[in-house]
Each structure stands twice: as C-alpha cells, then as structure tokens.
Amino acid sequence: MDRIERIVLVSAGALMAVFFAALVYAATQLRISVPTCITDVAPFTRGEVIDKGNHHYEVHMVAKMWAFDPPEVRVPPGSEIDLYLSALDVTHGLYIEHTNVNLMAVPGSVNGARFRLDTEGEYDTICHEYCGAGHQVMMGKFIVSAAAAAQPAAAVTGAALGQRLFEDKGCPACHSLDGSAGVGPTMQGIFGRTVELADGSTKTANAHYLEEAIREPGEEIVKGFPPAMPETPLTGDEIQALVAYLETLK
C-alpha cells in the first residue's frame, strides 16, 4: 500500500474512533440526548381547528403513523388558514392537492404555512415522506363547503361516538372492517374472537382485552402482525365507546 494512502486510511479511522468516543461521552457523561418532542407540549399534542373569526382559521395538525389529526378540516370558501404542522413519531410530509402547501412534519419542530381556500371542493392531503408500513394510506382532507361551515356537532355517545373515534383517529388505515388483513388485524367480528398472540398464548377478545389493547397497544402483539400500533391519547369514556363500537362489528 502506498504510504500516503496508509496515512489517509489511518487518520480517517482514528477520526471515526474519536467521533464515536465523543458520542459515547456525550450520551453517558454529559447526558445529552435527542431533543424532546415538542408535541409533548400544548398546544401541539393534538390536532385542533380554531375559528379565529372573519374566515380566519388556525389549524394545528399532528402527523402520526398513519394518519393526520384532525383527519378532516371543514372550512367555508374564502378561508384564510394558518397551518401548524408537527409530528408525533417519525418524519412525515403533508401535501395539500391543488395548493402549493407542501410541508415536512418533523418530530420536535413545528412547520407552518398560510394559505387561502377559495374554491368549494375536497382537497386531499397526503403524506409524501415514507414513514413505515402504512405510509400509502396516510391521507387527510380539507373540505371547503359553504354548507358545512361551522355546524355545531350534536353530542354523540356510546357506539356512535366509538365509530366516530375509530374513523377520526385513523384506525381504518390499518384495521379493515371487511375481514381483509391490513397492517393490523381486521375488526370484523372481533368481539369474542380467540386471538393468538405473538408469544403463543391465546386470549378471548372481550371488553377487557380490547380496552387494554387500545390503552397499551405495545403490550400484547397479535401473532403475525408488526408492533406498529401507536398509543392514542383517549379518555376512559372514549375507550369504552370504542369497545362498544367494536362489539357491533359482526
């Protein structure tokens, strides 16, 4: 080997060793870690549409595997929208069709855009950054409609609330209702089904099992599926409503 070649190789190797040592030192001695996620901090923990009045809306959009929260934003034509986008888990993207809004959703930071929606119609929003097994189903919608503008929602409870939550939280992206397998098991006929877990044990999908599966999705993994389900912030009542809805899926 040429002498100069050897010098370059040795010094490159030494430099890498120094960098690695510095990394270990920073992580163990200085306790430096990656930044905490800003989505731990209100108001970026959950999606929200705030009506500022005068056709001005502030939208807090949270991207997560594999849905946008809120999945649907309804505004009247001529709306001025301030969009704040963050991510809960990994890097996602957000493109709103027929607009020039094209943002990255990065954990730990908030990206923003101001835009107008003048023409009535539905604007699909898609995730344009590969983010895992369910990337291709990660979609949302802006609906621009004079009729849909600011109709106060009637209070819903029980299985009806559960159905709405199931849809709003993006569950159908992974859990089909028609028996077909997706990223996660189908929800068709889930109630009372015998579930085989990854550790070989079996359980009956009763109310208790389903509540736990929603509350702590990483605890018991169903055999043959990836441990991909995110923890979703839900109240006890909301979890019960979801289970009530799942019970209706024959």
> What does the DSSP 8-state code read for residue 158?
H
Token pair 């163990």 is found at 28
Least distance in angstroms from the C-beta of 86 to ligand CUA: 13
> What does the DSSP 8-state code read for residue 167?
H
Kindly tell me which of 137 and 149 has the beta carbon lying closer to ligand CUA.
137
**Separation of alpha carbons 39 and 169, rounded Å:** 16
Kindly tell me which of 135 and 175 has the beta carbon lying closer to ligand CUA.
135
Exposed e or buried b for every residue in 53-82, given b needs 16+ CB within 10 A?
eebebbbbbbbbbbbbbbbebbbbeebebe
Q: Per the omega criterion (within 30 degrees of 0), is the bond before 66 cis? A: yes
Which residues, other chains included, contact 132 with Cβ-Cβ below 8 Å and sequence gap of 6+?
A: 65, 66, 90, 228
**Nearest C-alpha neighbor of 64 from the set 85, 83, 92, 39:** 92
Least distance in angstroms from the C-beta of 7 to ligand CUA: 45
Kindly tell me which of 77 and 132 has the beta carbon lying closer to ligand CUA.
132
Least distance in angstroms from the C-beta of 130 to ligand CUA: 6
Kindly tell me which of 69 and 129 has the beta carbon lying closer to ligand CUA.
129
Residues that bind ligand CUA (CB under 6 A): 63, 66, 92, 127, 129-131, 135, 138
Least distance in angstroms from the C-beta of 131 to ligand CUA: 3
Torsion of the alpha carbons at 117, 151, 175 and 220, rounded to the nearest 10:
110
Least distance in angstroms from the C-beta of 145 to ligand CUA: 26
Kindly tell me which of 79 and 125 has the beta carbon lying closer to ligand CUA.
125
Are the CB atoms for 182 and 176 separated by under 8 Å? yes
Least distance in angstroms from the C-beta of 37 to ligand CUA: 16
Kindly tell me which of 109 and 188 has the beta carbon lying closer to ligand CUA.
109
Tokens of 44: 């970026």
